[in-house]
Structure 1
């Protein structure tokens, strides 16, 4: 049976997934706690990635080498960059890029040395399944979150976007940084800190990867002020519901 890794960057998101696993057992490797169990009839390993690209790459390698996972699904939050990518939307990645990779002038800006490329692809089939799951959850949001939460965060008609997700080892939270990224990478939908690292490791090992990110803010000076509440009442519920819907597909 295929073993699937479910990865989150933050505890609240992973907790929503663990609540769906009736028989998880803990195992500590490399200072990380991994939960092995079952969800919707699948063998599952759940883990926190850690924050940033190095922690993410280490986690990805351990999942593949130690636990033998054959597919990896990552769920987390991100800052919206592209126009129309709003708080409460989700972005399902089709491609990944490290926005802070710059070995110029030896290599072109953003190109990963030794690979001849700057962009790594998500797995097409797994990503298509993740899109279907995400769109299903988007349609069910009013009943899942309730009118009060929808109003509190201005979630009128959340959408599922697909495209480029960019990663870097800094938290983007100013308008100046956001505009600079949009200027350099105009097709980038959202920015976070782990996805591109997972994508590079999964490329090396030939392991399918799919990533969904909930937009928590616009990565600018108006970044959301009540992030803990958003994480607890919106993002974590998204994560649990999307993973459940994904693994329920046959």
Structure 2
């Protein structure tokens, strides 16, 4: 039997997920609330990742060791890095890197020591499934939200991207930091604080991981301005829409 972990980055996203689980039961482990139940016939565990790489890694490890999850899907927001990735767009991760990992000169910058790895891949099949449903979920969001709730964003023109996502223990929120990350990791589409750590845990355990990130800001001097409104009005609704579509597509086993 497969058990799917649905990992949310924000409380609003988790609340929206739990509203779709008719039989969820709470278990508290390591100070975290894990919600075990079903969604569209799938055996699922829903949980907040917590913020930062260590917290996210602890959550992922507990999901595997205590709850026996066999695959993970992460939904959340991120800052856009690549010039063509705009607020309101969506990024499906194909690989992850820790942008603040630096054990040089003992190891190359960004390489995780003793693994020989710099980039940790997402699961191809799960990521393909996310990529297939993401445009449909965006269309669902546009149809369900009146334009007055679009926060001035051209959501009807939002794009779905796929590629590298960078993680680090810092909320990137200045033009200088963003430019430096783009210089060091020119392939990175977005930046956040959790997924590369979860990807490392999943690699160690052989558990498939896929992640989709809604771009809430451009990781620049204006990154904090409309963040709370974006989470509540757009990101949490998009997360549920994409998970609804994904779980409808995945076979129940």
- Structure 1 length normalisation: TM-score? 0.98
**SS of alignment partner, residue 155 of structure 2:** coil
Could you say which residue in structure 2 is the equivalent of 1:167?
167
Distance in structure 1 (CA, Å) of the matches to 2:4 and 2:199:
16
Instruction: List alignment gaps of at least 5 residues for structure 2.
Output: none
Residues 9-158 of structure 1: matches in 2 within 5 Å?
A: 9-150=9-150, 152-158=152-158
CA contact (8 A) 2:173 2:224 kept: no
Structure 1 segments unaligned to the other structure (5+ residues): none
- What is residue 229 of structure 2 aligned with on the other side? 229
Q: Distance in 2 between matches of 1:224 and 1:89?
A: 17
Alpha-carbon distance in 1 for matches of 2:8, 2:216: 15
Deviations 1:89-146 (A, max 9, x none): 1101000000000000000000000111100000000111111121211233321222
Please give the secondary structure, in 2, of the residue aligned with 1:152: coil
- In structure 2, the partner of 1:211 is 211
Query: For 1:151 and 1:3, how far apart are their aligned partners in 2?
Result: 36
For residues 24 and 140 of structure 1, the distance between their equivalents in structure 2, rounded to whole angstroms, comes to 25
Q: Output one character per residue of 1:31-84: Cα deviation in whole Å (capped at 9) or x when no partner.
A: 000000000110000000110000000000000000000010000000000011
Aligned residues of 1:150 and 1:156 also touching (Cα < 8 A): no
RMSD: 1.0
Separation in 2, partners of 1:6, 1:86 = 25
